[in-house]
Structure 1
Amino acid sequence: MENKKVVKTDSGIVIKELYCEPVKMDELPGQFPFTRGVHAAMYRDRLWTMRQYAGFSTAQESNRRYHFLLSQGVSGLSVAFDLPTQIGYDSDHAMAEGEVGKVGVAIDSLRDMEELFDGIKLSDITTSMTINASGFILLALYIALAKKQGADIRKISGTIQNDILKEYAARGTYIYPPAPSMRIITDIFEYCSKEVPKWNTISISGYHIREAGSNAVQELAFTLSNGKAYLKAAIEKGLDINVFAQRLSFFFNAHNNIFEEVAKFRAARRMWAHMTKELGATDPRAQMLRFHTQTGGSTLTAQQPKNNVIRVALQGLSAVLGGTQSLHTNGYDEALSLPTEEAASIALRTQQILAFESGATDTVDPLAGSYYVESLTNEIEAAAWKLIEKIDALGGSVKAIEQNFMQDEIARSAYAYNKAIEDGSKVIVGVNKFTSAELSEPPLLKIDDSIRTVQTEKLRKLRAERDNAAAQASLDAIREKAQTTENLMPHVITAVENLCTLGEIADTLRGVWGEYKG
């Protein structure tokens, strides 16, 4: 008997040689369970928001890049913060040495935020901020700046990542233990639902779960399970799911297998619709899964880096075919450094070519009815539900993370993937096949360590010029309210308006809640 070749997706789903099963076509885009898209006409009416994730060095340098990107046609800004900012340290802190401005922009105070958006009206743009443990402080800074610019904060729009559970599971930039971290998140839900109603209060992220080594099914299951935990925490706080769930968004990764990624995105919408409905959501807008996509950073190769242009185009296409609401395409040089202006420009042009030249936007859900894609959507959904059932049996996402269930699953998947590359069963062009002895390295963007000196001097000047009594009173209020159930956000906004620094606010809460050691 002839041995037939077995082909699998990276998630281990067997791909059939031929798909000819009947397909249900009674689900319409814009209607529950939104498998085919959250809007009836999708991109025929409105394209996705084209973002380019950017931030490095000082606020002044990042501001220059933002003006460049806006001039090139981006329709929304996406801010990358440096590691000290992400974990609540000012640039002059000993823990910040060697990291200031390296993987994102350094933001220590309201003055830095003003420089970051100099010449940019917050009322005219949408801004996505990739920040989690210290996200409440960055949101407070953004709101304070909007008020200072004279904007109506009820009308400003954007997204804050604010997804701490995936930090414990996959990434590591947490500060506080899970319980107080979840309290901060629900405080943001509550505050924004009343005061900043157009703000997306969380971007529940599968991106970093995938970057840590998960497969597509794990990315989907762990992300939606985390989303379920946030829903339950907000409901327990007494918030109305029909209100706060409308401002939740998701952040997914896009890898190279176009069909698996499209199926993942379609399954995600359907699963979330059922999940929110089971928890009491009756408003269709509270049942919709809206998501941002970023192309896969971990798929980019330092070898033959220009190959990454093709990878990013394929990944961007999968996001568009899958119905994303927002997209960031990586620079081809990101396996080597932060993207240069040339690389960022090519990445943006990739999105624009997809939008205006590919034909992918001409019809809603272009791959609908494909026997392969419809079947793959069903299989990915079934596999993801099985994982979610395991997490529920452990007591939900927080308990599963505390028991290292997600971490262990991701580690096993990452090991299997890398082993397949090493033994050649998984081909990566230019890495383990079609290699070249000739090394090609494009011009790289380099960040100088002197940035820390610049930021330290700015902090010294700020502390000398501000009303230190008012600043201290603000920090005392945060310390006091952290020991109650009162919403912290108004007090944090007052603190940043009184020029308290990010590190001072984070340290005040470290004094109350301690640090999570993992």
Structure 2
Amino acid sequence: MDEERKLEIERWKDKVNEIIERFPERKERFTTSSDIEVERVYGMEESTLPGEYPFTRGIQPTMYRSRFWTMRQYAGFGSAKETNKRFRYLLEQGQTGLSVAFDLPTQIGYDSDDPMAEGEVGKVGVAIDTLEDMEILFDHIPLDKVSTSMTINAPAAVLLCMYIAVGEKQGVPLEKLTGTIQNDILKEYIARGTYIFPPKPSMRLITNIFAFCHQYLPKFNTISISGYHIREAGSNAVQEVAFTIANGMSYVDAAIESGLNVDDFAPRLAFFFNAHNNFFEEIAKFRAARRIWAKIMKEHYKAKNPKSWKLRFHTQTGGSTLTAQQPDNNIVRVTLQALAAVLGGTQSLHTNSRDEALSLPTEESARIALRTQQIIAYESGVADTVDPLGGSYYVEALTDEIEAKVEKYLEHIQELGGAVQAIEAGYMQREIQQNAYEIQKQIERNEEIIVGLNQFTMEEDAEPELLKVDESLEKGQIASLKRVKEKRDNDLVEKRLRVLKEMAKDERENLIPYILDAVKAYASVGEICNVLREEFGEYTGV
């Protein structure tokens, strides 16, 4: 090892010691069960250092030795009251962050009493119509102590404003609110479909959120650029990373074009990836994604703040990998996927429940999914050293190969004009559809073995216990909405909606303060989105 490398490692160790003084490691001494001491990092002489550009080995120099990833179980069903009970149960079981699933009407900006919402209220997530629902959702949950992730995209600005308003009612200063809002509309056009407005006004709302949060919510992640749904739609690991990073570049471009400095918003960008069954490929995927993003932010966008170079990500295990047949097998799949996410350096993690191919998870299934994370954290030893698979010939080769393949995709997308133009041309959609078709053919030909589905099958006699959403919930939610509309100051609501519509006409205006005013007057999600529909129009697809 040459003298320059020795000095670099010594500087890194000094930096780590300063960090540990502020954020102590979990133990004074990490050992195996045979009392073999576990070092903080292995292979420092040959590789990049964790916490250092380009962050292949992790974005923090001590990673999970100081603090485990956030264990954030995705939950939401029925009414706000029912979901609040589930949230409080999960927090009691040791969950360290909340993740909100919204029902389909909320996701596409319709109230529960809208004809478009009939039959879907509270089915795939919690129904949120007005600020009152949000107040109930977070009742007895202190927002200055709990980090919340919200999976909402087209109406993200409205739900974020509701969260801000609940925080204010709890007396929590805006600068203490922590969490993430998904707010990723481009992947909706590619893979998921819960869009409302065309791309241009949608991007305006997203950059409005960037600017508002930079000024008022410095600890809140303003977007979770999502590969998860791209993978669920049928992409492979390379396509997941490539299309997600291409979308991320479009958000950065839009924010810069709106007048923001890259270092004003880039440190609060976050990502959301899937974890599938090919164990080593998934680990390499996460390592490659970090490295690619760091190079793009530093070299292409010339970001100066090292925090702007760091790809921070949440992982969810692969819903599309779960089978309705032999659902207990899904516990094993989820364990492998969760372990890959941890070995790949995730910042937070959701583990799917065994019954999610059949229904929303029962309380017991959600607890097993959370316990899976806790066993990995506390019993496996994988969190005791940083990047334990770094230096593996296989993992390093896979990391390099994924990086090269992703870069080819990115080059082609840039040739098309960027992610928005590639989406409008249907390029990403076609690539995903073709890959999904090939995978399905392999499964049908038994070239791809799915245990319990096309091999090792058995007669399924016993019906597992499933969670069923009460059909009467929809009527109750509509009645609650009607009551709110009767008791609020409707003149004030109309006034604030009119102001919002006028401000929407001026592209230079940041709409978040006006949406917040409407939310505080108890204007509904549907009312606010309809005002914006009238001004922006609706997107009907490629």
Please give the residue correspondences for 1:440-479 in structure 2 after superposition, counting only pairs within 5 Å. Answer: 440-479=462-501
Question: Does structure 2 retain, via aligned residues, the 8 Å contact 1:34–1:269?
Answer: yes
CA shift digits 1:74-127 (9 cap, x unpaired): 000000000000000000000000100000000000000011011111111000
1:213-232 residue pairs with structure 2 within 5 A? Answer: 213-232=234-253
Instruction: Select which of 332, 345, 350 maps to 2:367.
Output: 345
2:197 aligns with: 176
TM-score in terms of structure 2 length: 0.91
Q: How many correspondences in the alignment?
A: 497
The residue type equivalent to 2:397 in the other structure is S
Provide the residue aligned with 2:339 in structure 1. Answer: 317
Instruction: Quote how far apart the aligned CAs of 1:510 are.
Output: 0.3
- Indicate the SS of the match to 1:62: helix
Kept after mapping to 2: 8 A contact 1:81/1:130: yes
Q: How far apart are the structure 1 equivalents of 2:286 and 2:527? A: 40
Residue 448 of structure 1: CA displacement?
2.2
Structure 1 residues 211 and 116: alpha-carbon distance in aligned structure 2, compared to 1, 3 A threshold? same
The alpha carbon displacement at 1:452 in A equals: 1.4
Match in the other structure for 2:156: 135
Bigger CA drift: 35-44 or 432-441? 432-441
| Structure-1 residue corresponding to 2:184 | 163
Answering whether residue 519 of structure 2 is matched by residue 493 of structure 1, we say: no
| Contact 2:72/2:348 (8 A) holds in 1 | yes
Tell me which residue corresponds to 1:68. 89
**Does the aligned pair in 1 maintain the 2:325–2:460 contact within 8 Å?**
no
8 Å contact 2:58–2:345 — kept in the other structure?
A: yes
1:432-457 residue CA offsets vs partner (Å, 9 max, x unmatched): 11110234431000012221111111
Once the two structures are superposed, residues 410-432 of structure 1 have per-residue CA deviations (whole angstroms, 9 ceiling, x without a partner) of 00000011111000010000001
* Offset at residue 24 of structure 1 (A): 8.8
Correspondence 1:98 to 2:115: no
| Structure 1 match to 2:52 | 31
- Among 251, 260, 277, the alignment partner of 1:256 is 277
Alignment correspondent of 1:405 = 427
Q: Give yes or no for contact 2:275–2:340 (8 Å, CA) kept in 1.
A: yes
Q: Does 1:333 align with 2:355?
A: yes
2:411 aligned counterpart, secondary structure: helix
Structure 2 residue aligned with 1:417 = 439
Q: Deviations over 1:178-207 (max 9, x none)?
A: 000000000000000001111000000000
Other-structure match for 1:203: 224
Specify the alignment match of 1:108 in structure 2. 129
CA distance in 2, matches of 1:387, 1:161: 24
Find the partner of 1:265 among 273, 280, 286: 286
**Letter paired with 1:185:** I
- SS at structure 2 position matched to 1:438: coil
Q: How far did 1:243 drift?
A: 2.0
Q: Secondary structure at the match of 2:175?
A: coil
Alignment partner of 1:293 is 2:315: yes
3-state SS in 1 of match to 2:174: coil
Hey, what's the Cα distance between the residues in 2 that align with 1:282 and 1:364? 26
SS at match of 2:239: helix
Seen in structure 2, the aligned counterparts of structure 1 residues 59 and 397 have a Cα distance that, compared at 3 Å, is same
- Residue 59 in structure 1 maps to residue 80 in structure 2: yes
Q: Is the 8 A contact 1:305 1:441 kept in 2?
A: no
Instruction: Give the alignment's TM-score, normalised by structure 1.
Output: 0.95
Q: Alignment RMSD, CA only?
A: 1.1
Q: Which of 50, 53, 60 is equivalent to 2:71? A: 50
Q: Secondary structure, in 3 states, of the residue corresponding to 1:147?
A: helix
Deviations 1:153-201 (A, max 9, x none): 1111000000000000000000000000000000000000001111000
Which residue identity lines up with residue 255 of structure 1 in the other structure? H
Amino acid at match of 2:527: E
* Corresponding position: 1:41 with 2:62: yes
1:339 maps to a residue whose letter is P
- Aligned residue for 1:458, secondary structure, equals helix
| Secondary structure of the structure 2 residue equivalent to 1:50 | strand
In the TM superposition, what whole-angstrom CA distance separates every residue of 1:267-315 from its partner, at most 9, and x where no partner exists?
A: 0000000111111211110100000000000000000000000000000
**Paired residue secondary structure (2:144):** helix
Structure 2 residue 127 is matched with structure 1 residue 86: no
Query: What is the identity, as a one-letter code, of the residue corresponding to 2:293?
Result: W
Return the letter of the residue paired with 1:446.
K
* Partners of 1:313 and 1:509 in 2: CA distance: 43
Residues 167, 24 of structure 1: alpha-carbon distance in 2 compared, 3 angstrom cutoff: farther
Structure 1 residue runs of 5 or longer lacking an equivalent are: 1-21
Structure 2: state its 5+ residue gaps: 1-42
Separation of aligned partners in 1, 2:460 and 2:478: 43
Aligned pairs for 1:357-396 within 5 A: 357-396=379-418
2:137 counterpart of 1:145: no
CA distance in 2, matches of 1:236, 1:451: 45
For residues 167 and 89 of structure 2, what CA distance do their matches in structure 1 show? 22
Amino acid corresponding to residue 130 of structure 1 in structure 2: T
1:54 deviates by 0.1
Contact conserved, 2:326 with 2:460, CA < 8 A, in 1? no
1:235 aligns to 2:256 (yes or no) = yes
Deviation of 1:23 (Å): 11
